[in-house]
């Protein structure tokens, strides 16, 4: 029997006093990188791209995670104060004036998904070094309410009852996912309807959380989970420079 008493109560129906995600807007990106571009990808993402994004007002944290020998291999998560930050003039300026290194790096991207999301449900007060990332699609728009209820009211609370799970979030894509920008034209990508992120302190706990999803339930109301779900491990996490404001634009 587990004798450790949790400081916070994450039982179904009980909300944590603070959230693992730092804001109400989230950009989630999955991608592979062709072999010829891997060295450039790391140099660009570590030293230019993450710092550039975190210099935009309202961007609160950027994280990149990797699942080795898996496709998509990388998962990047940006958290912003509001969804409005993710269509703000400052962000649009960066998307429409990519640096030469950004343009070159993105030509090596393959198998890319990108979603600008709103937070539907978030429980937990800690981030994990390992994140199970699940993508969901809808074949029928009328089923969106059923998928929202299932993920927010059943899957996320159930995840928080698992050992070593620190946070769980259900996110749904916003229309800002489909904005036409100079960066978006450099590569093809798809937009999942919903995303679930389950953060854990061990890779095993993150991987096991996949069995929380009942795919028969999804099929009943016209939804599906992508088969290439994986648990990703943290490579880099960055916060804004203290010289830049972290306050976001209102929506």
Write the CATH number for 91: 3.30.70.100
In a domain, residue 137? The reply is yes
In a domain, residue 56? The reply is yes
Bridge partners of 28, per DSSP, are: 77, 115
Neighbours of 76 (CB within 10 A): 22
In a domain, residue 6? The reply is no
In a domain, residue 251? The reply is no
In whole angstroms, how far apart are CA 14 and each of 19, 22, 44, 113, 206?
A: 13, 19, 42, 32, 22
In a domain, residue 250? The reply is no
Contacts of residue 132, defined as CB under 8 A and 6 or more positions apart, other chains included, come to 196, 197, 198, 199, 200, 206, 207, 209, 210, 229, 230, 231, 232
Domain count across the chain:
1
**Which tokens go with 13?**
């129906």
Reading the chain (251 residues) residue by residue, the pLDDT tens digits are 344 444 334 444 444 445 899 999 999 999 999 999 999 999 999 999 999 999 999 999 999 999 999 999 999 999 999 999 999 999 999 999 999 999 999 999 999 999 999 999 999 999 999 999 999 999 887 789 999 999 999 999 999 999 999 999 999 999 878 777 887 777 778 999 999 999 999 999 999 999 999 999 999 989 999 999 999 999 999 999 875 444 443 33
Q: Is 28 left (phi over 0), alpha (psi -120 to 50) or beta?
A: beta
In a domain, residue 188? The reply is yes
Residue 103 belongs to what domain range? 25-238
Angle at CA of residue 191, ends 155 and 156, nearest 5°: 10
CA distance 107 to 76: 17
In a domain, residue 145? The reply is yes
Collapsing DSSP states into helix, strand and coil, what is residue 151?
Answer: helix
In a domain, residue 94? The reply is yes
């Amino acid at each position: 029997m587990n004798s450790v008493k949790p400081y916070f109560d994450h039982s179904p129906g009980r909300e944590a006093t603070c959230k693992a995600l730092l804001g109400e807007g989230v950009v989630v990106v999955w991608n592979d990188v062709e072999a010829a571009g891997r060295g450039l990808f790391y140099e660009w993402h570590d030293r230019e791209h993450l710092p550039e994004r975190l210099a935009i007002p309202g961007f609160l944290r950027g994280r990149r995670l990797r699942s080795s020998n898996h496709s998509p291999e990388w998962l990047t998560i940006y958290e912003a104060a509001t969804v409005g930050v993710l269509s703000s003039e400052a962000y649009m300026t960066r998307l429409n004036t990519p640096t030469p290194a950004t343009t070159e790096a993105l030509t090596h991207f393959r198998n890319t998904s990108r979603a600008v999301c709103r937070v539907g449900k978030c429980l937990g007060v800690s981030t994990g070094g390992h994140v199970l990332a699940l993508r969901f699609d809808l074949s029928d728009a009328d089923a969106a309410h059923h998928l929202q209820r299932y993920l927010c009211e059943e899957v996320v609370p159930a995840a928080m009852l698992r050992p070593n799970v620190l946070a769980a979030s259900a996110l749904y894509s916003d229309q800002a996912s489909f904005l036409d920008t100079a960066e978006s034209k450099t590569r093809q990508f798809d937009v999942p309807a919903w995303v679930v992120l389950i953060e854990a302190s061990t890779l095993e706990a993150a991987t096991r959380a996949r069995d929380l999803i009942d795919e028969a339930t999804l099929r009943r109301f016209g939804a599906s989970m992508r088969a290439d779900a994986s648990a990703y491990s943290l490579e880099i996490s960055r916060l804004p420079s203290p010289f830049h404001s972290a306050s976001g634009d209102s929506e």
